[in-house]
Structure 1
Amino acid sequence: MKRGRPSTIGIDNAIPIAKKRGCMMRVTYSSDSVCDFFIRPVTHVAFIRLIRIEKIVAPVNEIEHEYR
């Protein structure tokens, strides 16, 4: 995990997508936070941590597989 300020633009872009997938709750940012937000669909809970990558030079499915 990279250190530094939180990815506010990434979180702002991810929240509408997360809300479509279930009940979403944002976690208050601190250095020891385990996630940025979590999604609670019907069957399970997904803890989401956003990270920055330098360049997007691959299709979405490859990026998703690599950072799963």
Structure 2
Amino acid sequence: MIGYGLGAIGPGIGVGVIFAAVINGTARQPEAEGKLRGLGFQTFILTEVLALIGLVLYFIASSS
């Protein structure tokens, strides 16, 4: 459980960096907001999938 908790720090930081970049990009180019938001959510989903894979692997390892 501790290993997964430590492993979840990376995706948590990644999500913060992703949306910080979206906010900064929108502030610099307001007309690109839609494209930046879509790209931000796509990368958010990929980052969260990594966290979910870690959670699934934790349950697989703990059941053995």
Settle same-fold status: TM greater than 0.5: no
TM-score between the two structures when normalised by the length of structure 2:
0.30
More helix by percentage: 2
More strand by percentage: 1
TM-score between the two structures when normalised by the length of structure 1:
0.29
Higher Cα Rg: structure 1 or 2?
2
* Higher RCO, Cα 8 Å, sep 6+: 2
